[in-house]
Amino acid sequence: EVQLVESGGGLVQAGGSLRLSCAASGFTFDGRAIGWFRQAPGKEREGVSCINISGGSTYYADSVKGRFTISHDVAKNTVYLHMNSLKPEDTAVYSCVSDFVTTTTMCRHPDYEYIYRGQGTQVTVSS
């Protein structure tokens, strides 16, 4: 079965850290961009961070630069989002997507219908 599965969300206090995982099954990330998006209630979906493992390019939204890091484990076919110095405004449902586009295109167009999209994981940051 072809799917993306996110995990690692939860409740954390402001200033804390979480690591989200996006595991792919049924396909590999070769040549594809993988992106982390988030959507808070009443707000538009936002492209948080994107990576192209083959090309090495990464993209970060200004709101998370210096706090979030995207990485990957080729052997596990998994992409991670390391989130540090979390703020209450980071509270959202985080989901990952993958498709054959550039990292910039993916992160700047979070409302495109990408080929693969996970179900999402909730991140809640308390003040």
Element (H, E) at 7: strand 3-7
pLDDT, one tens digit per residue, over 72-107 is 999 999 999 999 999 999 999 999 999 999 999 999
Q: Tokens 């989200």 belong to which residue? A: 20
- Contact between 22 and 79 (Cβ < 8 Å): yes
pLDDT, one tens digit per residue, over 46-80 is 999 999 988 889 999 999 999 999 999 999 999 99
Task: Read off the tokens for 3.
Answer: 């799917």
Query: Concatenated DSSP letters for 104-117?
Result: HHHHH-TTS--SEE
- Contact between 10 and 19 (Cβ < 8 Å): no
